[in-house]
Amino acid sequence: MAQQPTGRDGEASLDANALYREEIYTDRKVGTLRVLIPVTPAGASDASRPTIYSGEVQIMTNMGPVPIGFEIDARDLATAIAGYTAAAKEGVERTMRELQELRRQQSSSIVIPQAGAGMGALGGGGKIQLP
């Protein structure tokens, strides 16, 4: 992807030297395999840059399905298909670790009383806010 999505004049522009053609494969059961094929500005395949393989799988949560994307280290489509399961497992495990870290950070947040909140009859009564 381009580092900066806009040109100098503030308008969105594509980097003609970083174009990819996207192909999507699915078995309609487990997930999706995306293949990004580098192309020249004329649309011809660009063999000087590597093809990128990535996958997506959904996990069910109590809030509904959550899509998880992951890279697949592969040199061709057959290798990407063979490596899909291991890459998906790692992607799900990485996402679960990140969610656990977010939960840990949230649970250790400092609770700060609202500024100017007076004390009630029993010594409390301020509104509690999370940072």
User: How much is the pTM?
Assistant: 0.68
**Cα angle 42-43-49, degrees, rounded to a multiple of 5:** 105
Per-residue model confidence (pLDDT) at position 125: 56
Q: Which residues contact 125 (CB under 8 A, 6 or more apart)?
A: 117, 118, 119
pLDDT at 80 over 60: yes
User: What does the pLDDT look like over 40-77, one tens digit per residue?
Assistant: 999 999 999 999 999 999 888 888 888 999 999 999 99
Q: What are the domain boundaries of the chain?
A: 16-108
Question: DSSP class of residue 89?
Answer: H
For 65, the enclosing helix (H) or strand (E) is: strand 64-72
d(CA 38, CA 29): 28
Q: Which two tokens stand for residue 14?
A: 């594509």
